[in-house]
Amino acid sequence: MSKKKFKTEVNQLLHLIIHSLYSHPEIFLRELISNASDALDTLKYLTLTDDSFKNIEFDPRIDVTFGDEEQRIVTLSQTDKKKKVITVADNGIGMNEADLEKNLGTIARSGTRDFLKSLTGDAKKDSNLIGQFGVGFYSSFMVAERVEVVSKKAGEEQAFKWISDGKGNFDIEEGVRSRNGTTVTLYLTESGEEFANHFTIEAIVKKYSNHISFPIFLNYYEEKTEGAKTVKEKKERQVNAASAMWKLPKSELKEEDYNDFYRSITHDTEDPLHSIHTQAEGKIEYTTLFFIPKKAPIDLYWADYQPGVKLYIKRVFITDDEKELLPRYLRFIRGVIDSEDLPLNISREMLQKNSILTKIRNDSVKKILSEVASLKKDREQYNSFYEEFGRPLKEGVYQDLNNQETLLELLQFKSTKSEGYTSFSEYKERMKKDQKVIYYITGENEKTLRSSPLLEAWQKRDIEVLIMDDDIDEIVIPAVGKYKEIELKSLNRSDALDDMKSQADKEQEKKIAPLVKRIKEILKDEVKDVRASTRLSDSPSCIVADEKDPTIQLQHILKSMGQMEVPEVKPILEINPSHKIVKKLEKTEDKALFEDIARLLFEQALLMEGVQPKDTPSFVQRLNRTLERSL
Ligand code: ADP
């Protein structure tokens, strides 16, 4: 026997599972059945494509058995207490010693590892998060105090047994199993015992695993009276539908079937928001069944996100690890693609350039986007969808030029003129007769943006401005440039107002030129330019970016994305010639006071953009000097 330690992250995960109030302990069964089903999928594929597996008998099934008083109760030597057990067995690919150690002793995904590392001590809060991506095999320890896995790999002679109490260590020893496959035995905790009856197990299987495509049998004993005696009779009953449900005619399927299937292929405990079932016939034959979840999965923004679409060929599972089945921005979609035309033994490299798959992918994207658009009929529903998945759609606007127009129609933003979200087309409807441009303002949060001095000129002219407070807007919207031939213009840019300037504005600019020059001399190291502004009415100053320069926010995003060398781009300071402070400043003879105020005009404009002045102590001193003088 060899005693082994779990990798640190497994311990962390186990700790979370066991010590946080996990909201759905019953999902342990789904996770085990899902692993069994994967093991059967793998073997099925090999028996069809690999000669060395051709002779293996393949009669796939999953057996769930639970402890009956007589039959299954075992005595654990270490606790000397009778325990109820549940076992989940499959005759799939199985695991050898090395597989057991690797698969049940570590966590493969670096994203999960990083996520665990980032967790704080608040296990209750974190357990909600962790529930979203499923904890796989380790969820057994939510209901069991000891787990044994006996497994024999297809094509190999020796079986092995993995044993652990989920407390840091596991053992692997030689085991006995007559044929290939895996049996997982859970020695239930007191609270776990509630699962050891056929009503509960059957209900859980139906809820989470009804459409697993292999038969799941429930094994149990029933008491029967024979004359004066009661005897126990072994019962075996298939409890799932075991169909490739996406292949069934749509007319036979109910919403409940779709919901059940969704839960069986995801870690979600909720129903999906929307399902999209397509059975294409003709030149290329395929079936797709896609789901839009209600909530974004936790790994949506991880570098090693797991795509949620499984590829089948003629109902044989091929892969769930192919990131190109749908474009990256649609990575929140779950479901299956099943093709009738691809060869079973197609290689991964071939998959990526296969023209049939490309066609399926293109059709699927169009279909999904049109279904997303249809969600708009119920605006509230669409808004909640958008809260979760608006950001990936924006990535799509940037990445998927073929569907950019469609995607633009799906975007929505806050606005100075309407409550809640508004779309480009709604903005267009409201545009003034002579208005030629769609205006928007970008920044870190809605509240500061709504009170930004940059808005003043537009408010004065009663022109609507879209409020873009998502950092990705800053990258996507300038890249798009236009909506239906209408230019998209950012208020954060120095030229935003050019087409609205009047003759009087220009004259005023000229008049104030000497003051501008004086301020510029003081701030010459910090700003790119100082200009007179016609956009301001209530504020004395504001910050803008030069036409081609990245805005302050974009510089921040680039920095936070780890872009190492973000060139320091200086902003432009605009001052308001008609503001009282500026007018009085023009007349000031006191050089020191002039400098203080010039700097304060710059610093307050920075603050309004959510940027800290570089030298905060000096800023405060300046402010205090000025306050003192005004008293
Ligand atoms: P996941 O299923 O998400 O990969 P798990 O923790 O549930 O994570 O399982 C880890 C790995 O252990 C699986 O990826 C698989 O390789 C292996 N495994 C688990 N259960 C079985 C089984 N019944 N038969 C064969 N391999 C299994």
What per-residue confidence (pLDDT) applies to 289?
Answer: 98
Q: Is the CB of 49 under 6 A from ligand 1?
A: no
pLDDT for res 77: 47
Predicted local distance difference test score (pLDDT) of residue 70: 42
279 lies in some domain: yes
CATH of the domain at 329: 3.30.230.80
pLDDT of 130 over the 60 cut? no
Looking at residue 22, its pLDDT comes to 61
Tell me the sheet residues that pair with 466: 415, 440
Pair 537, 569 in one domain: yes
pLDDT over 80 at 24, yes or no: no
Mutational test site, ligand 1, from 103, 138, 156, 319, max ligand atoms within 8 Å of CB: 103
- Sign of the dihedral through C-alpha 175, 178, 181, 182: negative
SS3 467: strand
- What's the confidence (pLDDT) of residue 574? 93
- CATH number, domain of 579, equals 1.20.120.790
CA–CA separation, 576 and 579 (whole Å): 6
Confirm or reject: Cβ of 554 under 6 Å from ligand 1: no
Residues 144-196: pLDDT tens digits?
999 999 999 999 999 999 999 988 899 999 999 999 999 999 999 998 999 98
Does residue 428 lie within any of the structural domains?
no
446: Cα within 13 Å, side-chain hemisphere: 8
**Helix, coil or strand: residue 175:** strand
Residue 37 belongs to some domain of the structure: yes
Same domain flag for 281 and 353 = yes
Q: Is the CB of 88 under 6 A from ligand 1?
A: no
Q: Structure tokens of 96?
A: 């050898």
- Label residue 346 left, alpha or beta by phi (over 0 means left) and psi (-120 to 50 means alpha): beta
- The model's confidence at residue 293, banded by pLDDT at 50, 70 and 90, is very high
Do 192 and 308 lie in one domain? The reply is: no
Instruction: Encode pLDDT of 294-323 as tens digits.
Output: 999 878 887 778 889 999 998 888 888 888
Of the residues 238, 256, 271, which one is the last residue of a structural domain? 238
Query: Are 41 and 111 members of one domain?
Result: yes
Residue 289's closest CA among 271, 274, 267?
274
d(CA 626, CA 631): 9
Q: Which of 10, 14, 33, 35 to mutate to test the pocket of ligand 1 (most atoms within 8 A of CB)?
A: 35
- Asked if residue 279 and residue 230 are part of one domain, the reply reads no
- What distance in angstroms lies between residue 193's CA and the mean position of ligand 1's atoms? 24
CATH classification at residue 185: 3.30.565.10
The verdict on 142 and 12 lying in the same domain is yes
Q: Whose CA is nearest to atom 18 of ligand 1?
A: 35
For residue 191, what are the domain limits? 2-238
- CA distance from start to end of the chain: 84
Rounded to the nearest angstrom, the distance between the alpha carbon of 299 and the centre of ligand 1 is: 19
pLDDT on residue 117: 66
Q: Is the model's pTM score more than 0.75? A: yes
**Residue 214: which of 49, 47, 25, 43 has the closest Cα?**
43
Burial environment of residue 435 by CB neighbours within 10 A (0 to 12, 13 to 18, 19 or more): middle
Are the C-beta atoms of residues 1 and 172 closer than 8 Å to each other?
yes
Place of tokens 């000891």: 146
Specify if 288 maps to a domain. yes
Q: Does residue 423 sit within a domain? A: no
Query: How much is the pLDDT for 561?
Result: 59
96 and 165 housed in the same domain: yes
What is the pLDDT at residue 81? 53
Among 335, 352, 377, identify where a domain stops. Answer: 377
Identity of the amino acid at 10:
V
488 is a domain residue:
no
Q: Are residues 272 and 322 located together in one domain of the fold?
A: yes
The total number of residues shown for the chain amounts to 631
pLDDT computed for residue 75 by the predictor: 44
Contact assessment for residue 29 and residue 175, using Cβ atoms and an 8 Å cutoff: no
Largest Cα span, the chain: 117
Q: What is the pLDDT of residue 348?
A: 78
78-97 residue pLDDT tens: 444 567 899 999 999 999 99
Query: Which of residues 116 and 140 earns the better pLDDT score?
Result: 140
156 and 71 together in one domain = yes
pLDDT bracket for residue 69 (50, 70, 90):
very low
Residue 21: per-residue pLDDT:
47
| Dist. CA 147 → ligand 1 center (Å) | 14
Average of per-residue pLDDT values in the chain: 87
In a domain, 415, yes or no: no
Calculate how far, in angstroms, residue 233's C-alpha sits from the geometric centre of ligand 1.
33
Which of residues 322, 347, 377 is at a domain's end? 377
Q: Specify whether 101 is located in the same domain as 230.
A: yes
In this structure, are residues 535 and 454 in contact, taking their beta carbons and an 8 Å threshold? yes
Which pLDDT band holds residue 71 (cuts at 50, 70, 90)? Answer: very low
Instruction: State how many domains the chain has.
Output: 3
Q: What is the pLDDT confidence band of residue 74, given thresholds at 50, 70 and 90?
A: very low
52 shares a domain with 185: yes
Share of the chain above pLDDT 90, in %: 57
| CA separation for the pair 421, 442 (Å, rounded) | 15
- Residue 483, amino acid: Y
In a domain, 533, yes or no: yes
Do 261 and 201 lie in one domain? The reply is no
Place of tokens 């910050």: 543
Query: In this predicted model, which residue has the larger pLDDT, 493 or 250?
Result: 250
